[in-house]
Structure 1
């Protein structure tokens, strides 16, 4: 009986740490530095390397790693991580005939410019917390998919949050409340509408600025106005409103996904217990 196999060869290189500095005078905003953790996965017609030990179609991990470094050096102007991922994807799918698709994933370490005496420093940076990430898929046909996101974005408010009216059964211990601390760590992914490399704007689309814009809208929706805030009946409802606001504010984002686990700050019921009186005997002077 004949056996039918459908095989796809995929290989690549991950954990390629690349840093790039663009030197600029203080008058132009100062130096720009990025630190990226890059992973490249390519789909190629390399079946003989599996079936007959013929590696002639394999692009070695060493070549992939060095390509990342070379392409970063060739970027003489500041580029976003999304733009850099597209550059890498187009390179691998155009240079190698056997490569039909390239997936480039980048996570950026958040180096932020420091402020000294109220002024942005020209070449001083500190590490932030939340991380910008992207996944770009480029096919030989020019088909394109760009997803970007944020990881580790921690948000907390001390009031204006509750949770009530949920299922009551014999397992429930949690009481209804309209007053609690609400905290979460946001992981967000959003998709840009560009479906072909030809649809990319001739003038570079500022993906980095859009990342900052989305982060700002997520926080503004979570917290509400600075003086009065906004009431959150549940993390689920707040998540929905945050995602809805992103799609409403930015037509160039076609979809968004949010993951927001509830980081609990639970009150301790001390009952009628009181702290004991502590007496301290001081030495006579």
Structure 2
């Protein structure tokens, strides 16, 4: 659904337009006292809703904010961040800039994905300037309106999770096309995409403590992972991907009152039992919960959203 300020009437027709810049890649290094470095790598997408209809209908570009200007703004604002900054805070900074600096811009939508560069340890000691790439990307979407309304969402993409037991799939609908056997013992593997929306609706509602968004992101990620796996020794049984997805989303809402909604997408990445036999040898490979064929083509696709009654998804 388009934002309220996105649709105008032109020549008796509803007209909606926006323009922006995608995949603006920027890395920012902060050098702290004592020699320790910090780095982030972001891919930034910007979309502006603005009063530049004339560019479309009358060949007048005077109100267009050039997409190259948007790209340059990303680097300029990254330079201005003298202190270590979260991906959410940087997205808010950019979005507020576009709606306040340009009279014709009514809404700015900023999406950023952050690569998971993690500090390495050498001989048991954290390295001052060495990093390795971890699992998953930290994402955010910020929508800022000139009126002051602000929506902030965070998320994670590409979080790969797998457990070798405590998963099954039984008592599902069967018909003449069903060939899948029931099981109480299988590998459960997925690549989680999650997003969650914060309940505050203006800049003034954001907690002021430094590192708030990064800490919340790490805490939400921990709840998702812990719910998927269960206790370290016995684990927790998953009767379906759907059930586990719901438990993960429910636990996020239960743990974080500041989060109003959460959306999860969890493809079922299959590990198929391998049995190989011939007429002369019935047990070249006999499957005993040990040898699998990993495949993600095709794979099951499961997704759902969970929100509080007051939430606007």
Q: Same fold (TM over 0.5)?
A: yes
Distance 1:89 1:268 in 2: 52
Q: Give SS of 1:25's match.
A: coil
Gaps in structure 1 of 5+ consecutive residues: 277-285
Q: Relative contact order, CA 8 A, sep 6+: which one is greater? A: 1
Aligned to 2:223: 217
The one of 241, 255, 273 equivalent to 1:267 is 273
Once the two structures are superposed, what CA deviation does each residue of 1:20-54 show, in whole Å capped at 9, x if it has no partner? 11101348xx2110010001110100011111111
The one of 13, 19, 34 equivalent to 2:27 is 19
Once the two structures are superposed, what CA deviation does each residue of 1:114-168 show, in whole Å capped at 9, x if it has no partner? 0111111111111123111111000000111111111111111111111000012
Aligned to 1:160: 166
Aligned to 2:200: 194
Gaps in structure 2 of 5+ consecutive residues: 1-9, 286-313
* 1:5 equivalent in alignment to 2:19: no
Aligned to 2:186: 180
Distance 1:268 1:132 in 2: 36
Shift of 1:71: 0.6
Shift of 1:198: 2.3
Distance 1:162 1:202 in 2: 44
Aligned to 2:127: 121
Provide TM-score, normalisation by structure 1: 0.92
Once the two structures are superposed, what CA deviation does each residue of 1:48-88 show, in whole Å capped at 9, x if it has no partner? 11111111101111111111111111111111110110101
Q: Tell me, yes or no, if the aligned pair for 1:9 and 1:45 is still in contact at 8 Å.
A: no
Q: Which has the higher strand share?
A: 2
